[in-house]
Structure formats: structure tokens, C-alpha cells
Amino acid sequence: KDQKITSLEHIHPQNLNIDEIELDELVSWVNRKSQIVDSKLLHWKNEKDKQKVKDAIDKITDLLKGYPTNDISQDKAIKEDFDKNKQPYHEQVEIIDNMFDEMANMKPEIMHSIKNMALVDKDTNSALSNHLLDEKRQILKQREKGDKDKKGIYVPIATKDVFDKAYSSEIDDMQFWTKVDREDYFSEIETAYNYFVNSSLK
């Protein structure tokens, strides 16, 4: 209550809304996705899926013409082009997001359900952004720990457990919030809920 832990965080990242972001945000998002694709830690179902994502990233990079550059006039031109016509970007972002959703077996109806939600403070919600599960886990731990200039934040126990997959009966990898993870997490919520409801009825 004191630290205002009132913000709902998507465990598996919600899809990027191209209409609501600035060009700099898109560049950061593309760079993160590119690093993930090239990471040896990510286990692709097949090379075809990996290539599909890489092609979409390459198309966005082509649209950006190497942004950001040292040529301010070119940067302005690209920003103006981005603001005027976001559809080509949207198409490629959708391909990338859909592929990562598929790897987590994440359906649209589950994305915003309690099975994919954890509780954090508002600033932490912003910091976690559109990162995958393993990146969010590291950011959360760092924010809890703090540093020499800033005190660490409070992270609810269940939120820590979620990102550590402490409720999961089977763990294939630590990057995606899978169907098994979601069902086991929901089962824990249900158990806790029933305990308090039944206790209050006695």
C-alpha cells in the first residue's frame, strides 16, 4: 500500500501498438527483438519461423534507412515519414509479435486475462515494457535490489514467484510464459481465493 503496488503487468508482453509509440521506441523494440532472435538461448521450433522474424526485422530496418544517423535532416525526414504512414511498420511488427505469441501459445483471449497478469508498481510496469519473460525477471530483480544511489523497490512475493516460474509444474525454458505456466499460476490463484472465501464464511 505504501509503495502503491497497483499496476497490472502483462507477464507475456502484450503486442506493440504502432499507433501509440514514437519512432525512438520502435527502434528500441526492434533492436531488442533482433538481439533475441540472434541469441543462442532462444529455442526456435524451426528455422523457417526464425527466418520469418528476421525478414520482418530486416524490412523494418530498410524502412528506417539505418535510423538513427548523424544526419539530423535525414532523421527528421524518417520521423515525418513514420508519423504519416505507419502501415508498412505495422505489418512487420504484427508478424514479429504473432510469432512470439505463437511460441508462448498465447491466444488473444488469454493476453489480458488474470492468467497473464501480475501486480507491480507503476514505474516498474513502465520499466518492464515489452520485454520477454527472462528480461523482465532480470529488470525486476535489479529494481528490487536497487543500487548505491537508489533504494530498492518492494516486489510482491507472488509477482517474484511468477517471474521465477515458481508455480510451474513443468519448465521447458525461462523465456516464455507458456500454457502450462499460466494454468499452474491460475490454479494457485484459485486455491488462495477459495481459502479466503471459505474462511470468511465460517
Instruction: Name the helix (H) or strand (E) containing 63.
Output: helix 47-64
How confident is the model over 71-101, as pLDDT tens digits? Answer: 666 678 888 889 899 999 999 999 999 999 9
Would the pLDDT of 40 be above 90?
no
- The confidence score (pLDDT) of residue 101 equals 95
The whole-number average pLDDT for the span 40-64 is 88
Q: Share the mean pLDDT of the chain.
A: 90
How confident is the model over 121-167, as pLDDT tens digits? Answer: 999 999 998 888 999 999 999 999 998 778 899 999 999 999 999 99
Closest Cα partner for 28 from 42, 16, 44, 41? 16
- Contact of 179 with 105, CB cutoff 8 Å: yes
Closest Cα partner for 82 from 98, 56, 60? 60
Helices (H), 65-107: 72-84, 87-103
Against a cut of 0.75, is the pTM above it? yes
How confident is the model over 106-118, as pLDDT tens digits? Answer: 999 999 999 999 9
